[in-house]
Amino acid sequence: MIMSFLSIDIFNQIINREIPADIVFETETMIAFRDINPKANVHILIVPKQALKTAKDVHNDNLSLFGELFFVAKQVAEMEGINGYKLHMNVDESGGQVIPRVHLHLLSPDFECDL
């Protein structure tokens, strides 16, 4: 099923503290908070503060931002006490992305995924 993008970038509202979230990690460039509808014991969303809609917005000049996503995932997983974990990213509407803002799902191993 193709999901539709929400018209509002909710994650920008979280970054700007306009709506609440359970924020677990934040730097000048990144924010991480618990998913409101967790699919695993640990389910955290890692979001760059730079306003990129999808991972297709990756370019030569922002490659490091995407590397930083993986670095933050490692740091947050360590904070959460999970050794192994799963990283998932939906890309664009037809890829299942709903929130129009790049984000990486960090999930504990109990996440049911048959890759």
CA-to-CA distance for 90 and 102, rounded, in angstroms? 9
Write the CB contacts of 8 (distance below 8 Å, at least 6 apart in sequence): none
The residue within the footprint of ligand AMP, chosen from 35, 57, 80, 92 (CB under 6 A), is 35
Q: Which residue, chain included where needed, has tokens 């760059």?
A: 48
Residue 36 engages ligand AMP in binding (rule: CB under 6 A): yes
**Is 105 one of the annotated active-site residues of the chain?**
no
- x/- contact string, 62-101, with ligand AMP (CB under 6 A)? ----------------------------x-----xxxx--
- Of 43, 59, 88, 103, the catalytic one is 103
Burial class (CB in 10 A: 0-12, 13-18, 19+), 17: exposed
Residue 21 engages ligand AMP in binding (rule: CB under 6 A): yes
